Amino acid sequence: MVEVHVAIDVRSNNVHDRARRAGPDSGGERTTRLGLPTSATYTLDGLLCCRSCGISLQPVLMLGRRAYRGPCGCRLTAVDAANIEQLVLKAVAGPAPGLVADASPEELRRIFRRLFVAVRVGGCAQDLSITWRP
């Protein structure tokens, strides 16, 4: 496995606009009967994990916003889902923009699973590393 550390310029409006159009927030969020978000709306569900301990972060709704939260206790705050998903989308869109252009959230979720082994996040969303599949 090859671990790639990504330094991303998060100021690019082009990528943020594309991520907003393709991201899960654009089509409305589906919830289960208990009000919990379905994993299909979280493109990094099962891939995003804590950089410190490696435990998978779980999708949650916090104050009406999508987020990922670690059950491990390493992180005191949840990671904003839209923000981290945009950063990861930018990592893919840079070298292969056609791969993610106009992709639905479900398509992005499948694309990310084909490309990544894991996405590790540290203290903030910009502190992330991606382990790409060989």
Strand-by-strand arrangement of the 79-80 sheet? 58-62, 65-69, 79-80
pLDDT value at 17 more than 90: no
pLDDT confidence bin for 80, thresholds 50/70/90? very high
Q: What is the pLDDT of residue 35?
A: 47
pLDDT confidence bin for 14, thresholds 50/70/90? very low
pLDDT confidence bin for 31, thresholds 50/70/90? very low
pLDDT value at 36 more than 90: no
The C-alpha angle 122, 59, 66, rounded to 5 degrees, equals 90
pLDDT value at 43 more than 60: yes
Q: What is the pLDDT of residue 9?
A: 39
| Residue 132, phi then psi, degrees to nearest 5 | -85, 150
Determine which of 7-11, 104-108, 122-126 has the lowest per-residue pLDDT on average. 7-11
CA–CA dist 78, 65 (Å, integer): 11
| Residue 40, phi then psi, degrees to nearest 5 | -65, -25
Mean pLDDT of 41-62: 92
| Residue 106, phi then psi, degrees to nearest 5 | -65, -40
CA–CA dist 129, 81 (Å, integer): 16
pLDDT value at 119 more than 60: yes
pTM: 0.69
